Amino acid sequence: MELFKVLLICSALFPPLIASSGASVSTPLAVERKCPDAIIDWVDMVMINDIRYSGLSDEEMGKMPLMKGKKLGTVTYKMADNACSDHQMKNGDAAFLPVGTELYELQGYDPSFRILANGRVYQVNTNPQAKTVADLYDIEGKVSGISIRSEEDGSYLADFTPQATEEFVREYLAQPYVGFDKVYGDGLDGKQVFLRFHLKDGSSFVRVIWLDEHAMNPGNFTTPRMEAIVQEQLKQVQKK
């Protein structure tokens, strides 16, 4: 999924052209660009150490303990109400967190997976250093279960068995992380299944698997065994 969606409601700002006397070539008149230049639907995110994180919702955070670790840095630029639509996110940028907000490690997790800021947990969205899903997600030994959620409203449909959860997580973490752009390609239109990963600290997060395209976010391809496990667990939903 894209980190944010941009809706342009005005035309691109092109500098006016003026012709010099007796010349056939026009020269651009420098115009100071004003930002923001569009209505931008920002997603709650922050970037530090070249890793982009997205804020977890209250439901995803659940009742997990929020214990600060080492300070990682501070927010130096707030994108909302300031950045243009073509802004390239860099370290210290945040969508909504105020400038000066301190970013901390979250005890119990590798900071490349989750950090803490302003009382909210931020979870990795993209990490250019990650080679496998395990490099991206510090969840080995921390998953208590996986549930299947409704594609329409996210409501609960069924649980994976403990054995299916263990095997699926093991397969998932072993997959190469190639990034969502490569997985998404020109679009994913096949059957999709929403899976909620429940962690032992009470937090959770949802990921989507596209069975026909053999893909899964945040950016990995799936194995036949992963797909078979999902299909086996979907039979529980069909029985209801």
The predicted structure's pLDDT at residue 96: 97
Q: Which residues contact 83 (CB under 8 A, 6 or more apart)?
A: 35, 36, 40, 77, 93
The predicted structure's pLDDT at residue 239: 72
pLDDT in tens, 120-147: 999 999 999 999 999 999 999 999 999 9
For residues 15-32, average pLDDT: 41
Q: Which residues contact 64 (CB under 8 A, 6 or more apart)?
A: 121, 199, 201, 202, 203
* Residues 92 and 76 sit within 8 Å (Cβ to Cβ): yes
CB atoms within 10 A of CB 239: 7
The predicted structure's pLDDT at residue 24: 40
CA atoms of 19 and 28, how far apart (whole Å): 9
The runs of H, that is alpha helices, within the chain are 58-61, 133-136, 162-174, 180-184, 224-239
SS3 at position 35: coil
Residue scoring higher pLDDT (120 or 189): 120
The predicted structure's pLDDT at residue 189: 83
The predicted structure's pLDDT at residue 240: 64
pLDDT band at 152 (very low <50, low <70, confident <90, very high): confident
pLDDT band at 157 (very low <50, low <70, confident <90, very high): very high
